[in-house]
Structure 1
């Protein structure tokens, strides 16, 4: 049984903006501390044999300049790699747009004590204004929260053995709902108007954790 509230509270979330060569980007940053060593965490997030145990199958060349593909998800190029502290990659669905920009950077640093590591993931992307207005940071933030949950459970010896079944569970719906709310709070803290954020959170929650179908009516 996953303690959903503790898992949500274990991650710090920040929403911001950044300049890119093609215009201003939106940023989402997740920060969480894991109980393991730098070398073990680096291996867990870069080793193609371990990635499917908590994230997804990933193929490609795991080196600077190499290209990768996440099964059923994004792909791109590894543009920085400084083991065991940092890697940065482009994150693109399908064919990259000429005016597009989407990159993910993962940073590891020693935590407050032995066998404690601070994990940071920052996704920087130039977003479609209409999509941002509709969903806000939760559009990608909830997905990254799920990844950090999977990583934490895996490192703690509690990996989810059937992600598809878990994704349809009440536990998963609660996690995704709370994640959507947490990204709403981070968005307000980042300067977005609360009324706009409320609509974003509602849309994101409905996308990730839609209301279950109504049962048969009572006679």
Structure 2
């Protein structure tokens, strides 16, 4: 059994609405988590297809700056910036949906991973749009932590549908709902609707 409460607490979450580089406004979702591994090892786990498929999804593509990638059964996009082993920027599912990864070495041979996902306000609707992606990224950061701990055996996608990971996802939806509410970037109705969508997507009830 995984320690659900501690894995939920290990992730720092933020939601914001601000100006976009090309004009207009964008919603940003920020997550941070520290891993007990050197920065080069974390980078390798994020970029090596043989390792990624062991904790996330199978990955294919022209894996270089300016190339493209595809996660099997999930999103694909363009690799806009790649500065090993510290920075990676990709589009994710569309040209205006952008994910930035930043790795910073710690003081005890550990690494802080920061993930920022931005989309135009027109796509997200409000800060409640964080509930469309935040719990999914929580699940990815959990998968990476379990991979480093040697706790994922077999298909990670099947494991993601296990009862304990669904429980983690329900806790993640609660956490993101609280962050959205505290951010003041969405109405109560928008947040409630986002919560229901997130539960249906990330933690559906057993039939």
Given the two structures, how large is their TM-score scaled by the length of structure 1?
0.85
2:49 partner SS: coil
| Residue number among 184, 187, 205 corresponding to 2:180 in the alignment | 187
Distance 1:103 1:160, change over 3 A: farther
Structure 1 residue corresponding to 2:146, chosen from 146, 153, 171: 153
Alpha-carbon RMSD across the aligned residues, in angstroms, is 2.1
Q: Could you say which residue in structure 1 is the equivalent of 2:99?
A: 104
Please give the per-residue CA displacement for 1:74-107, whole angstroms capped at 9, x wherever unaligned.
1111111111110101112xxx5xxx61110000
Q: Would you say 1:205 and 2:199 are equivalent positions? A: yes
Is the CA contact 2:16–2:127 (under 8 Å) kept in the aligned structure 1? Answer: no
What is the CA deviation profile of residues 88-129 of structure 1, one whole-angstrom value per residue up to 9, with x for unaligned ones?
Answer: 01112xxx5xxx611100000022x22111001111112556
Greater shift, 33-42 or 73-82, is seen at 73-82
**1:135–1:204 Cα contact (<8 Å) kept:** no
- Report what 2:28 is aligned to: 27
Show structure 2 runs of 5+ residues with no match. Answer: none
Change (3 A) 1:85 1:167: closer
Q: CA deviation at 1:209?
A: 1.6
Whether the 8 Å CA contact 2:169–2:203 is kept in 1: the answer is yes
Question: Which of 126, 133, 137 is the matching residue for 2:120?
Answer: 126
What is the aligned length? Answer: 205
- Note the 1:41-190 alignment, pairs <5 A: 41-92=42-93, 96=94, 101-111=96-106, 113-128=107-122, 132=125, 136-190=129-183
| TM-score, with structure 2 as normaliser | 0.90
Rounded Cα–Cα distance in structure 2 between residues aligned with 1:170 and 1:71: 23
